[in-house]
Amino acid sequence: MDEILAYAYSDVIVAAPYVIGAYVLIWVALLIFVIIMLNSSKKTQSDIDALREAIERREKEQK
């Protein structure tokens, strides 16, 4: 009886790593993408801030 049940559920243990792995990998792929984007966004924002400062300074000088 137990053997039969074990057989009925035998796929679960074999398949679980693949199923969980697939789920994790999808999120890893998405997360890596988001993190790369956020990082580069931060960098660009600091560029923007620096540029703004430079423009402001120059505009004051010219006045």
Partner 1 sequence: MSNALEHSYNLAQTRQKWTTIAVIALILGLVLTTFDVIWAFFRAPIVASDVVIDPPAVLEGGTVITNQLLFSQKIFYFHVPVAIVSFVLIIAAAVYAVLHLMHHSAETDLRSKTCMEVGLVFIIGTMISGDLWTRHDWGVWWVWEPRLTTYFILTLLVIAYFVLRTAIDEPERKARFSAVFAIIAAIDAPISFGITRLIPSSIHPVLERGDSGMSPDMLIPFVCGIFGMLLVAFGIFRLRLLLQEQKLEVESLKARLEELDRQ
Q: Which residue ranges make up the site for partner 1 (CB under 8 A)?
A: 1, 4-5, 7-12, 14-16, 18-19, 21-23, 25-26, 29-30, 33-34, 37-38, 40-41, 44-45, 47-48, 51-52, 54-56, 58-59, 62
> Any idea how long the chain is?
63
Please give the distance of CA 32 from its chain centroid, rounded to a whole number: 3
- Provide the minimum distance between the beta carbon of 6 and partner 1 in the complex, in angstroms, as a whole number: 9
DSSP classification of residue 1? -
- Provide the minimum distance between the beta carbon of 43 and partner 1 in the complex, in angstroms, as a whole number: 9
Concatenating the DSSP letter of every residue in 44-63 gives HHHHHHHHHHHHHHHHHHH-
